[in-house]
Structure formats: structure tokens, C-alpha cells
Structure 1
Amino acid sequence: MTGTNRRLDDRQQAVLKGFRGLGLGLRRNVRSYAHNLHDCDSTSQLTAADSEFAHDDTTENYTLLAEVAEYSDASYDLSGSEESPSSSSSTLGAPQLSYQSPTGLSPEDFEYLHSHALERCTSLKELGQGGFGTVDLVEITLPSGRTIAAARKVIHSPLYGQARYERELKGLMLCAGCPFVVDVFTSRTTEEGTFEFLLEYAPNGTLHDMLKAMEQRRRGKDKLLMPEHRIRYYAACVLQGLLFIHKRGQAHRDVKPGNVLMSASGRPMLADTDSMDSVQVTKRAGTTSYQAPELWRASLQGPGYTADKADMYAFGITLAEMAACPAGGNGKLQQIKDDPASNTPGYVPADLKDLLCGLLAPAAKRLTVEQAMGHRFFVGLDWDNLSDGPLGFAVQLRQGP
């Protein structure tokens, strides 16, 4: 009997050792997935996206055509003391514009989403606020019983008028279906004079938020903010969004990390299209610290500037932030802007540094979006599958306690 008990004890120990090995392997896999997603904040937790908000990719999409007024010639203030871009006629004639549908909705659900979602949605939490209004996370229960999540943007500033609303809506609808620009599901103006958008929900915040978390973790060490392959992926996604916009004769005109939203799969998406305009413009637009030098000379000499080249300069600054120097740091970002060839940190890879120099060059020599995509920094990148996200499945990056 004693020998039998000893054999059972040995077997139990073997089983226990196996379970311990399995648990260690699972923990390693979880750490590997978290590292591959953003490789940024050590306090973050990686979780699957809420299943009730998941979309079924096997069913048909529906779109709703909408009439949007053409860009007017009226000028408007961008925000407070910021720049005042002017509006110009669209170069696209009469493009077909449509609201997008979350994948898998029936025609009845989609009609309800467009007609009643903004007035019947339930607010879950505030996502952000500013001088113009608020953005909150909402859920909508559709006639079929399905519940979806979206971001409701409510604007109530007197600086944001009808012309600017039409511009932002048209910019969003012009990019409908592009996975690298946030989708709009519906919009409206209220009797109280507010403007509302129901937008695709990006649960992972903005690129600006991510860079801040990375900088806190880096603690001043002389190294890239994130691995080179991660920089390459995020940069390629933003370039794809800009390519989509530029090929339609338009420019985003406010490219910056704060206007890059991170989708559920970790895919970057351009947002805030209220500054979007045709490539040939005569007024400044965007955020001052991301504006190309020629924008400040536009009012003093020449017929204006080429807005798509200005987009590429702003993208260059965004790329510099992704690599090394988040805005608001110790002045190193300004030094890179002044002379990228001499002031880019030595730990930045040579190909990435060369790309930065091409993006921050004078307008006549600056890379176009097609030239940037063909740069050797992106050699070997799978451009066709960028929309799947870094991991290819929905994830959320949530802050730990």
C-alpha cells in the first residue's frame, strides 16, 4: 500500500509539473501578443474586444446616399487663435457620397441606424471633450436586437458653423469605405444649433495617447519609442489614408498624432476632416506645430501652396514623434524639424532617417505620398493586408490600475 501511494504521488507530481509548464507557456504567449500589439505601456492589459460589439464580416454591407452641399467660398476659424483656412470648390465634380454601415447590418437595421440612432442611442461614457464639444461612447439597440457601439461627436461651439459641418461631413463621406479613415454612420443638426456625428468607435484611443504612454515607459533612454517594424506598420497605414485622400484631389490639412485614431484591431485611422480641402488652397490650416514652412509664406508671396505636400510635412513630424521625440518634450523635435539630417538621434535607423529627411525637405524636394510609399524603409511590407491590423483580430488596450 505504501508503494502504491508513492507511485500516485509521483504521478501527481508529474501532472503538476506539466500544468506548471503549460501555465508558463501561456503567460509567455500573452506577453508576446501584448508586445506585438503596441509594445508601449507596461500597465496595459490586452483583452478581446467586446463580442456584443463585434461585426459579422460574412454578410452584406449597405450604404445610404446623401446630399451634401459643395464646399462654399466662405472662410472660417479653425479653432480659437489657430489658423483660418478658406474653402474652395471641390475638384471632384459630383462624387457619390454615402454613409457607411457597420458590417453585417440588415437594410432595416441600417435605415434605423441612419434615421434614429443619434436621438435614441444610450451614452455609456465620455471619451473626450474640448472647446468645441464632446465625444462619448454610445450603444444603439437595433430593431433586430443587435447592439452596436459608436462614438457620438457633439459640437456646440459658435466657431463651428454650417459650412464647417458640411466640410467635415463631406470629407468623411468622401473617404467612405477606406479602412484608414474613420467611418461616419450618420449625422444631423439640431434645433438648438448643435452638430452631431455618429462615428466608428476606436477603442484604443489616439496615436498621441500611445506615444505619451511609450515616452513615460522609455524614461529618457536613447532608443526608439517602439520597434522599427511597429513604426513601419503605423506609418504605412497613415500613408494609405493620405493616398486615398490625395488621389481624390483633396488634402487632409491637419495630420498629427491626435488625429490618428486606433481601431479595435490596432489599425490607425485618420480622423477630423473638417480642414479637408482641395490640393490648391491659399489659406493656412491645421495645427501650428505641424505646419510646413511654406504655409507661413503663402500669404506673403506666390499664389499659395500645395496642400498635399503640406500633408507630407505634417506626416514627417508625426513620424519623427513615432520614432524618437513626442511633442512637448525637451526641444529635440524642433531640432529635427530645423535640420533632420544633423539632428535626428543616432539610434534612428538609417533608412528611417533618410525617409524623415525626404518628408521634412523643402516643398520642391519633398516626397509625395507615392514616393514615400516606395521608399526603401518599406521594402518587404505587405501593403495589401495592412487593414487586418497588427495582430489580425480585435483587441483592446486598457489601462491597468
Structure 2
Amino acid sequence: ILEDDDKHTSLVRFVSDLIELDQLFKQHYGIIASPFKLPILPNLSDSHIATRSLHRFLSKFKNNNNNKKKKSNGEKVETYLRMCAGHPLLGTSSLLRDFLSPQQEEEEEKEKEKEKENTKVTPLVCTKSSPLANYKQNQRTPTRMTLEDLQFLKVLGKGCMGKVILVRQQSSARLYALKAISKEWVIAQREVEHAVMERNILSKVSKAHHPFLIKLHHSFQNANQLFLVMDYHVGSDLATQLQLNYHFDDYRCRFYVAEILLGLQELHRLGILYRDLKPENILLAADGHIVLTDFGFSRLFDEQSNDDKKNTMPYHTHTFCGTPEYMAPEVFLSEEYTFAVDYWSLGIVMYEMLLGYTPFSHDNDAELYRRVLEDPLDIPEDMPMATADLILGLLEREPEERLGCGHMFDNQLGFEDIRQHPYFSSLDWNDIYHKRMPAPFIPHLKSETDVSHFDPDFVKLSPRLSTQHHD
């Protein structure tokens, strides 16, 4: 039983599960964590074997002052897991997070019934009725967080809305990625709805505990900015890796595409349209597996809003948004679209990972739009047939004909259509989900706060917060 102020979680784990976790730690972090001592898994006894002998059973009751009381398995496991949770690398790893999350039907996580304290919200410069006035801390988090709790270390990324900064929580010494969003920019660009929706999507995604989706830990605000506190992933993103390697080999591409696909399909299952799948939003964790992040352009559909629309496209919208190189034709045409646009983006990302460039790229936006709508797709002659067929299927201009999308227009998501494609014939999807496939690249770290995998142009920036866009 794992318990904190907000919830308690009931898990079933066996000695073999702990041994497997310990082996995974050593496999993925043995070299990386060399400066930090890895926790040692204690010897765990099998209770059935230990009590099989009558002599051994009775010996427990002997009054021998020289025999010290031995620790139970439970005490040993608790000590080991506490050491893992407090470790600078293991404590933030997806391996430990997955191990401590419900995975079977008999396991559960329940919210505690308790009186909710009112969260103090700093008033906005606009009106009290603004949706941002409700932009406050995620209620699932056990303690409140403020800027005073955080030590600012390095800038990891920067955009028009603000910065992403590596921070350390003072009390736990745990590292997080802090996304700071300028309220001035949000209001000026009329992005209030998107800012609030991003927080709501992150909250919903975090409850799903999916291995390939980012997790939100806290959200709060001050007079000038909105803050999202998320998992920190040490390997930067696939865009940075593509800059270093130009393109990926077949194994590495298939590995990433499979994990991206499972992340996308979980978003769709939750009623979330991603709309901004691109290498910059695909992070690499310390274990070499991917994590999808940045839901600033995403749309969370109201499940009840489509109940009476059985004869129309499910979960549809027509907003023009995204990154042009990865946007589907129906978005450019201002047509109603659905989850099919995410599979088009997946096809573009897959093409870029294999060849080092996107298929319709151009410096002029108008020419880019024309290429997306009209130009034939250039497939190299030496590309394997199954690989080419998957790319062609994902980059089908008609959304109804796009691979994995036909069922969407019958109010079904059709998850299996893409998974059963010959390109993935060598994969076991359970192995993919549980991260049993060897990662093709594992970030090497010299220290806990090594940010050498991130763009140096961002890292050299001052990690302070400011309302000025040029900082």
C-alpha cells in the first residue's frame, strides 16, 4: 500500500518483479549513475520455502539473545524503494514511476475523501471572470508549490510564450521542467482558452499514467506568469538528435514510431487531438524511451458533445493551427478534421527520421501549402517496401483513406489498423508498451544536472523569469 495526503494506491508485486526492476536499473543506469551510488536490492526470502521446515519454523520461537530479529520482506522492500525514490536519477525515472503505478485489474488508486483547502489565486490584470483566474494548482498534488520552493538551474527551451527551465525543488532535491507562460502574451494573442486547455489536458493525461506521455505534477500562477511543473527528461528531443545524426537507422526509427503511435492512440482514447506532433515535441527520457509533450495546440473534446452526432464525423473541429511542415491537407483547406491529422503528422515525422528532411518543406509558406496539397510524395527507390507502404498510407491526402483513419468516420478509432501493418510485424506491442525493447540510444550524463543534450543556444540563456519577451 502506497499512501500520501491525497490518495492511497494498492499494488501487487512479487519478489521476481523487484528483481526485474533492479536489473533494469542496472541495465539503463549502471554507467549513467556511476557518480551516484545505486541502491542495493536486499536479499528477499520466499516465505513458503522459509517455513516449509518444521525445525526452521520452531527455531523462530527459541529464546536466544544472540539472534537478532531479522527484517521482514516488507521492511526490506520499503527501505529499498525509499532509497530508489530519493536517488537523483532513479527517483525521476519512468521505470520507477511505472513500477509504482496500477497495472492490473486487482490494483487500484483511490482519492482520499478530505476537505479541499481553498487555493489562493493571484488576481489577473484583466477581469476576475477570466478563465485564467481558475488556473491554479493541480488538486491531485499532495503539497502546494510556489516559485520560492524552486532553484532555477538552466534554460531548456524558449518560445514566444515563455521559457522551459530546469528547476530543483528545494525540499526533495528532485529535478523538474518548469514551463513558464507569459500572461501578457496569452492575453495579447487571445490564447487564454488554449492555455487553460493545455493545463486541463496535462491533468487528464497525468492521471492515465501512460509510459509515453508527459506527466504534470503542479500548476500555479503569479501576477505575470502561468507555471506548469512537469517531469524532466534528460535527453532533450528528437529534433536535437536529428541535428546531430541527420537521420536514424531502420531500428531506431521503428522503435520511436512504435512508441509515438502508442502515445498518440492513448491521447485519442482520452478524446485529445494532439495537432502538434513534431520532433521538437518528442522528448527522450533517461532510459532512451520517448515522451510526448507540449499540448499548447491540442484540443480536448467534450465526450458528451458528440453523443447526438451519430451521422457526422466524431470529435471534429476546423481550427487552423499547428506547425505548417507537419499539418495535414484538410487543415490547410479549412475543412472539418478529426484525429486523422495526427496520423498525417506521424507520417511526416517518420519520413524525416529516415531521410533527414520533411517531404514538402519550403521556405515560402504559400509554396509549402501548394506542395502539401498537390505534389507527389518522393519515395527513394531503395526504401524497403513495408516502410514505403506505411509512409504512403499515413500521408494519404484524403483523411477517409488514410491508414488507421477509416473507422473514425464510423465513430470508431480503429487503433489496430496501423499496429497490424507489416512494418511492425517484428514487434510485440506488449513489449513496446512495457519498454522491454532495448533503446537504440541512451543519453550519457556526466552529472545529475548535465544538460549537454539540449540546444546550447537555450542553455546559455539566463534561467531567470521576466515579463519581457526578449529575455
- Residue pairs, 1:297-316, within 5 angstroms: 297-298=333-334, 304-316=335-347
Q: Which residue of 154, 170, 173 maps to 2:203?
A: 173
The 2-side partners of 1:319 and 1:165 are apart by 29
What's the CA shift for 1:389? 6.8
Distance in 2, Cα, partners of 1:389 & 1:258: 25
Q: Does 1:374 align with 2:436?
A: no
For 1:252, give the aligned amino acid. Answer: Y
Q: Write the deviation string for residues 178-202 of structure 1: whole angstroms up to 9, x where unpaired.
A: 111111100112123x110101111
- The percentage of aligned residue pairs carrying the same residue is 24
The AA in structure 2 aligned to 1:245 is L
User: What secondary structure sits across from 2:393 in the alignment?
Assistant: helix
Q: Which amino acid in 2 is paired with 1:202?
A: H
Q: Which one-letter code corresponds to 1:178 in the other structure? A: H
C-alpha separation in 2, matches of 1:389 and 1:157: 42
Q: Which residue of 1 aligns with 2:258?
A: 236
Residue 348 (structure 1) aligns with: 383
| Cα deviation digits, residues 215-265 of structure 1 (max 9, x gap) | 1xxxxxxxxx22212111100111101100111222101111111111111
Q: Per-residue CA shift, 1:130-157, capped at 9, x if unaligned?
A: 2211111111143xxx421110111115
Q: Secondary structure at the match of 1:179?
A: coil
Change (3 A) 1:64 1:98: farther
Corresponding letter in the other structure for 2:197: R
Output the TM-score relative to the length of structure 2. Answer: 0.56
| CA shift in 2, pair 1:360/1:242, >3 Å | same
* Structure 1: distance between partners of 2:371 and 2:387: 13
**1:211 equivalent in structure 2:** 242
Amino acid at match of 2:267: I
Cα deviation digits, residues 37-62 of structure 1 (max 9, x gap)? 9xxxxxxxx83486523225665788
Q: Distance in 2 between matches of 1:286 and 1:98?
A: 26
Listed as ranges, the gaps of 5+ residues in structure 1 are 1-36, 38-45, 68-96, 101-109, 216-224, 299-303
- Which of 328, 346, 353 lines up with 1:292 in the alignment? 328
Instruction: Pick closer, same or farther for the CA change 1:98–1:196 going to 2, 3 Å.
Output: closer
How far apart in 1 are the matches of 2:419 and 2:376?
20
1:237 is matched by which residue type in structure 2? E
CA contact (8 A) 1:336 1:344 kept: no
Q: Which residue identity is paired with 1:271?
A: T
Distance change (3 Å), C-alpha of 1:229 and 1:394: closer
* Alpha-carbon distance between aligned partners in 1 of 2:110 and 2:375, rounded to the nearest angstrom: 44
Instruction: Tell me what 1:249 maps to.
Output: 271
1:396 aligns to what SS in structure 2? Answer: coil
Alignment of 1:132 with 2:161, yes or no, is: yes
2:270 is paired with a residue whose SS is coil
Report the residue type matching 1:181 in the other structure: L
Q: Which residue of 2 aligns with 1:186?
A: 218
Give the Cα–Cα distance (whole angstroms) in 2 for the partners of residues 296 and 393 of structure 1: 35
1:255 is paired with a residue of what secondary structure?
coil
CA contact (8 A) 2:289 2:439 kept: no
Aligned with 1:125: secondary structure?
strand
Q: Cα gap change, 1:297/1:395 in structure 2, threshold over 3 Å: closer, same or farther?
A: closer
Task: Check the 8 A contact 1:212/1:326 in 2, yes or no.
Answer: no
Supply the RMSD in Å over aligned alpha carbons.
3.7
**Would you say 1:119 and 2:148 are equivalent positions?**
yes
- Distance, in Å, in 2 between the alignment partners of 1:202 and 1:276 is 21
AA in 2 matched with 1:295? V
- Give TM-score, length-normalised by structure 1: 0.65
Q: Deviations over 1:91-122 (max 9, x none)?
A: xxxxxx9777xxxxxxxxx623xx02543111
Kindly provide the amino acid, as one letter, of the partner of residue 244 in structure 2.
A
The CA distance in 2 between the partners of 1:297 and 1:236, in whole Å, is 29
Of residues 251-260 and 380-389 in structure 1, the stretch that sits farther from structure 2 once superposed is 380-389
How far is 1:374 from its partner? Answer: 1.7
Read off the aligned partner of 1:126 and give its amino acid letter: V
- The equivalent residue for 2:173 is 147
Q: Is the 8 A contact 1:123 1:139 kept in 2?
A: yes
Shift in Å, 1:395: 4.5
For the 8 Å contact 2:386–2:422, the answer to whether it is kept is: yes
1:363 aligns with 2:409: no
Matching of residues 1-400 of structure 1 within 5 Å = 47-48=32-33, 51-55=87-91, 56=96, 111-112=142-143, 115-116=144-145, 118-142=147-171, 146-156=172-182, 158-161=184-187, 162-176=192-206, 177-192=209-224, 194-215=225-246, 225-277=247-299, 278=301, 279-298=315-334, 304-327=335-358, 343-361=378-396, 362-368=398-404, 369-386=415-432, 387-388=434-435, 391=438, 395-397=442-444, 399=452
Larger relative contact order, structure 1 or 2 (CA cutoff 8 Å, min sep 6): 1
Q: How many residues align?
A: 300
Deviation at 1:165, TM superposition (A): 2.1
